[in-house]
Amino acid sequence: MTLNTEFMLETFFIALKGIPVTLSLAAISLLLASPAAFFMAIARINRIKGLQKAVTVYVSFVRGTPMILQILVIYSLLPSLLNQLFMNLNLKINVFDVNPILYAYIVFTLNTAAALSEVFRSALQTVSIGQLEAAQSIGLSTYKAYTRIVIPQALVVALPNLGNVTVNLIKGTSLAFMMTVKDITALAKIEASYGYNYIEAYIVIFFIYIILCSGVQLAFRLLEKYLGGYRKPAAG
Amino acid sequence: MLELKNVHKSFGRNEVLKGVDISVEKGDVVVILGPSGSGKTTLLRSINFLEKADKGTIVFGDIEAKLENASKHDIRAIRKKSAFVFQNYNLFHNRTALQNVTEGLIVARKVPKAEAVEKARKALDKVGLSDRYDYYPSQLSGGQQQRVGIARAIAVNPDVILFDEPTSALDPELIGEVLNVMKELAKEGTTMIVVTHEMTFAQEVANKVIFMDGGVVVEEGPPGEIFTRPKEERTKQFLRRIINDFDYVI
Ligand SMILES: Nc1ncnc2c1ncn2[C@@H]1O[C@H](COP(=O)(O)OP(=O)(O)OP(=O)(O)O)[C@@H](O)[C@H]1O
Ligand SMILES: [Mg+2]
């Protein structure tokens, strides 16, 4: 068997066009998930009654089910629920006009929020309660103490795990093709389907994902180095 | 100037403070002694509401408040009049020595930045750290960190500084530099409440010693009296044990 290298090169450039979709799927999910995850982490750390339990159930539910199943459920269930809703509200919106990328945002945001809530929780707990108290004792409000002292340090601690979550998310978005979203994977699959060149197409996007994910990991490492400078003892 | 009346505090079923009264005048250096678990830290933390007492009254200058339900406004006012020096320093790790000191000035007291930096430098100079302004806590020794902690406290110009065992996390050779700074402050008339096991400091610097045990004040008086003729049996036992410990160490 020989690989069709000409096809591979062509597919490479076509699949590259999926990068903005893949990255914006990841970025928007991260953006939507972060504040939610932060409040879930706070709810768990401060043992806020009711909320704490709800968060625990949510996290174990999301993390305990395969993402592919979540996609199938949301992608087949949500449209009919929405349809019902639109009809009840007498809205003349056709659910099939809803951009499928919205479903993708929902699935990935739900997953990322669960993962991030754990990351934030452990990171916040690494900052000693004493620093919070010290800030309060010199007159800072709890809000200021968090935003100026606790969160910046927790963020630095969280960065490696945040990088992992991001990389997992980018890899996970390759399932978006199931929702007919045209990301890297979807574009390559479409290209492959014309001449049945699946092996070549998969090899090509394999490398695209490796490059993308390595780049993200590198970015997170540099960011950690930059923001975490205060942690390393210097000589003299 | 500062008075606490009938302070009660329990953690679950563990009654830690059972009606403590203390009063502090301007310029006083009050040392609180007592065995481990007697409630010294809890008492000190109740003063600036790091711990919420179950019952009690605080009179601090012109503020009078119930400890159990003081208003946010009173809590902030009392925190502005006091400063806390912690056993574990609790410096802000993401801030340099100078920024640790300016933080409270700029953020809580709205002092203009240039003025805050000026004040912070003065405070750090006073504790002998004029060559360490831009060091992060991770780059400082324990003794230096605690001196930054003291600078952070004095910079806000509080009416009273609360010290909770400021030297007990330090290596023996670093204790002296911190105690010297505290002595200096006492000489300048700074009002201080100090929980410590440093008997020499208590004898030389304090003008009032309070001995606590089991959540109550057992005995209080000038150091000359407490150390040489304690009235209560519990005080005598405690002092004997502490002095013996000293002998062993030496
Ligand atoms: N946050 C807390 N939760 C539960 N129990 C606590 C808490 N803080 C203190 N205690 C208990 O209260 C009692 C008094 O503690 P406190 O720290 O005030 O004693 P201390 O006199 O400062 O002792 P030490 O000399 O060891 O510092 C102890 O029995 C301690 O276990
Ligand atoms: Mg204590």
Cross-chain residue pair B86–A136, CB shorter than 8 Å: no
Residue B151 lies in a domain: no
pLDDT at A192: 87
Q: Determine the length of chain A.
A: 236
| Domain residue ranges of chain A, discontinuous segments joined by + | 20-181
Cross-chain residue pair A138–B82, CB shorter than 8 Å: no
pLDDT at A168 over 80: yes
ipTM for the assembly = 0.90
Report CA(B164)–ligand 2 centroid distance (Å).
7
Which residue has a Cα nearest atom 24 of ligand 1?
Answer: B36
Task: Report the top-level CATH class of A20-181.
Answer: mainly alpha
Q: Domain containing B235 — which CATH number?
A: 3.40.50.300
Q: Which pLDDT band holds residue A233 (cuts at 50, 70, 90)?
A: low
Strand (E) or helix (H) holding B49: none
In single-letter form, the type of residue at position B63 comes to I
Q: Which pLDDT band holds residue A89 (cuts at 50, 70, 90)?
A: confident
Q: How far apart are CA A27 and CA A16, in angstroms?
A: 17
Residue of B nearest to A227 (CA): B94
pLDDT tens per residue across span A186-200? 999 998 888 888 898
The residues of chain B scoring below 70 in pLDDT are 244-250
Q: Which pLDDT band holds residue A236 (cuts at 50, 70, 90)?
A: very low
Residue B107 lies in a domain: no
Strand (E) or helix (H) holding B106: none
Q: Is the CB of residue B135 less than 8 Å from the CB of residue B99? A: no
Residue B236 lies in a domain: yes
Which chain B residues contact residue A139 at CB under 8 A? 76, 79-80, 104, 107-109, 156
- Pairing type for strands B160-164 and B82-85 reads parallel
Judging by beta carbons within 10 Å of its beta carbon (0-12, 13-18, 19+), is residue B249 exposed, middle or buried?
A: exposed
A102-106, A212-216, B90-94 — which is least confidently predicted?
Answer: A102-106
Residue B239 lies in a domain: yes
Residue B146 lies in a domain: no
pLDDT at A234: 57
% residues pLDDT > 90 (chain A): 62
pLDDT at B249: 46
> Structurally, how many domains does chain B consist of?
1
Residue B216 lies in a domain: yes
Q: What range does the domain containing B229 cover?
A: 12-91+162-245
Distance from CA of A44 to the nearest CA of B (A): 21
pLDDT at A79: 83
pTM of the model: 0.87
pLDDT at A93 over 90: no
Residue B111 lies in a domain: no
pLDDT tens per residue across span A42-73? 999 988 888 989 999 999 999 899 988 998 88
Which chain B residues contact residue A134 at CB under 8 A? 84, 86, 90-92, 152
